[in-house]
C-alpha cells in the first residue's frame, strides 16, 4: 500500500489514507492507526474502510455533502 496522507486525531491515534492493489484490484484504504507504547511507531488497527478505487468519485461526493449538513 502506498500512503497518500495522514491526519493525527489524538496524541496516540491517526487516520491513514493509502492506495494499493489486492487480488488484481486497485483499493483505497482509510484506517485508524495507534501509537505503540514507549515508541514513535504507529500500527494499523482493524478499524477502517477499504473499497475499490473505482468508487473514489462517489466517495468524494459523499464526503463533500458533509459540508452541507447543518
Rounded distance between C-alpha atoms, residue 40 and residue 14, angstroms: 12
Per-position DSSP letters for 1-69, written without gaps between them: -EEEEEEE-SSSEEEEEEEEEETTEEEEEEEEEEEPTTSS-EEEEEEEEEEEGGGHHHHHHHHHGGGG-
**CATH 2.30.31.10 assigned to 2-68:** yes
Chain mean position to CA 52: 13
pTM of the model: 0.86
pLDDT in tens, 14-56: 999 999 999 999 999 999 999 999 888 999 999 999 999 999 9
Amino acid at each position: 500500500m502506498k500512503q497518500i496522507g495522514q491526519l493525527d486525531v489524538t496524541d496516540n491515534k491517526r487516520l491513514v489514507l493509502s492506495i494499493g492493489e489486492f487480488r488484481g484490484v486497485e483499493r483505497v484504504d482509510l484506517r485508524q492507526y495507534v501509537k505503540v507504547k514507549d515508541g514513535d511507531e504507529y500500527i494499523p488497527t482493524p478499524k477502517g474502510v477499504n473499497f475499490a478505487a473505482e468508487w473514489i468519485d462517489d466517495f468524494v461526493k459523499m464526503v463533500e455533502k458533509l459540508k452541507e449538513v447543518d
